[in-house]
Copies of this chain bind each other. A is one copy, B any other.
Amino acid sequence: MRYAFSKRVRHLQSSAVRDILKVVGNGDVISFAGGLPADDLFPVEAIEQAFSRAFASGTKALQYIETEGYAPLRELVVERMSRKDITGFTANDVLLTTGSQQAIDLFSRVMFSPGDIVLTEDPTYLAALQVFQSYEAEAVAVESDDEGMIEEDLEAKLRNLRPKCIYVVPTFSNPAGKVWSLERRRMLVRLAHKYNCLILEDDPYGDIQFNQNETYTPIAALDDGSRVLYTSTFSKTAVPALRTGWIVGPFQVIRMMAQAKQANDLHSNSLSQQAIYQLCTHFDFDGHIQGVTNLYRQRRDVMVDCIRQSNLPNAHFVEPKGGMFLWIELDERVNTTSMLTEAVKKGVAYVPGAPFYAGVPKTNTMRLNFTHATDEEIKKGIHLLSDVFSHTDDQVKTVI
C-alpha cells in the first residue's frame, strides 16, 4: 500500500551516515565513519554513582517535570557557559534538549517557514542540513576558507537573500575539523546585527581542544545576547546515551522553542538530567574531559602521521586542532561515494563528503573520525584506505 506522506518528508531518504553505521556495526570493518566518542573512556562507574545520587532523592526524581528541564542542571549550564565568556543569561534562557540535535530541530521548527533561507558553511553538519530541509528551509552555502566564512560573499548573501539565520560550527567543525579565527567570528556577529539575522552556533566539540595555549572565543560571547543561539551537548564529553544537550540564547526564542518542545515530547529524560548534574558536581568532570582530549590528540597524531606516510592520492587536509574529525580532499578524479562499498569490502569505512555540502558537492572528499578506533586500528585502517584509493588512475579508466 502507498502512504501519502507530507510534502516536507517526501525527499527524505535514509542518510549515508546512517546506512554506513548500520553496515559497519555488523562486521569486522574498521570504522572512521560514525561520530562516536571512545567507549573505553566512558566514566561508567562515575555515571552509575551519579544515578545513585539522583535516585537518592526518591520518587520525585521520577515524576514529570517542566519542559525546560531540570532547573539545577540549567543553572549549572549557565555557570559553565560563563566560563566561556557567554554571560548575561540565566537558567530561564536555557532549554535542555535530547542532544544538541533536538536543539537544532526545535530552533528550525520555530524559525523557518517554507522557502526561508539559512546560510551555512560548505561543507557543514549533515544532520543539520537534513533538519533545515525537513522544515522546507533552503540552505545556501557561503564561501569559506580555513579561517571561516568570507566576508564579501557573506555580506552579499545577507543583502540579497535576507536569510533568517546563519548556521555555523565554528570550533573544530563537523565535518571539516576547522576553527574560525577571532576576526571572522567578530565579522559574523557584526554582519548578523547589520542585516537583522540570527546566528545558530553549534558547538558540540568546543571542549575537546588539543592546544590549551590557544583561545577560541565562542561567537555567542561576542554578541550582546540578542542574536546568537548557542547549542552544545554532554554527548561528546560525558556519554551519548543520556542524550542531554542544551541551547542558550535570547529568552523570547528559548521560550518559543520550549513551547514547541512541549508538543514534540513534553520534556527530555529528566532522570538523566539529574544524573548529569550529579556527575558534574561530584566528579572531576573537567579532569575527565582533559583525559578524553589527551587520548583524542594522540589518536589524531597517529592518523595524521599515517595519512602523511600513505599513498592516498594527492591527499589534502588541515590538521584538526580539536574535536573528532579529519576532512580529506583527494585527487579530483576520485569519487568517494562510489568507492565506499569497495572500501567497506576491504574492511574500512568513512563518510563520503558529498552529502555534507549545501552547494555543489566535492565528490573527492571524505570525513574520517579519529576518536573511536584504537591506534592499531587507525594504522591498519589508513593502510586499507590507501590501498583502496592508490589505484586512482586504474579506477578512473574503469569508470570511463
Point out residues on A near B: beta carbons under 8 Å: 1, 3-9, 12-15, 18, 21-22, 25, 34-37, 39-40, 42, 44, 47-48, 51-52, 55, 58-67, 97-99, 101-102, 105, 109-113, 116, 127, 130-131, 134-135, 164, 198, 226, 235, 239-243, 250, 252-253, 256, 259-260, 262-272
With A226-B1, A265-B99 already in contact, the answer to whether A109 and B52 are too (CB < 8 A) is: no
Contact B39 A48, beta carbon cutoff 8 Å: no
B263, A127: Cβ atoms closer than 8 Å: yes
Most buried by B among A42, A47, A61, A265: A265
Minimal beta-carbon separation of A91 from chain B (angstroms): 14
Asked whether B253 lies within 8 Å of A3 as measured between CB atoms, the reply is yes
Residue pair B264, A102 in contact (C-beta under 8 Å): yes
What would 9 A/B residue contacts be, using CB atoms closer than 8 Å? A1-B252, A3-B253, A4-B164, A6-B109, A8-B113, A12-B256, A37-B63, A47-B62, A98-B98
Q: Are A252 and B39 in contact (CB under 8 A)?
A: no
Closest chain B CB from A189 CB (angstroms)? 15
Q: Contact partner of A67 among B18, B40, B131, B198, CB < 8 A? A: B18
CA distance A112 to B116 in the complex (A): 19
**Copies of this chain in its oligomeric complex:** 2
Instruction: State whether B12 touches A259 (Cβ < 8 A).
Output: yes
CA distance A144 to B321 in the complex (A): 63
Asked whether B6 lies within 8 Å of A266 as measured between CB atoms, the reply is: no
B51 lies within 8 A of A63 (CB): no
Measured between beta carbons, the chain B residues less than 8 angstroms from A47 are 55, 62
Q: Are B272 and A5 in contact (CB under 8 A)?
A: no
Q: Do B198 and A34 touch (CB < 8 A)?
A: no
Residues of B with C-beta under 8 A to A34 = 64
Q: A60, A61, A164, A253: which has the most chain B beta carbons within 10 Å?
A: A61
Q: Are B9 and A110 in contact (CB under 8 A)?
A: yes
Asked if A39 meets B66 with Cβ closer than 8 Å, knowing A3-B198, A269-B269, the reply is: no
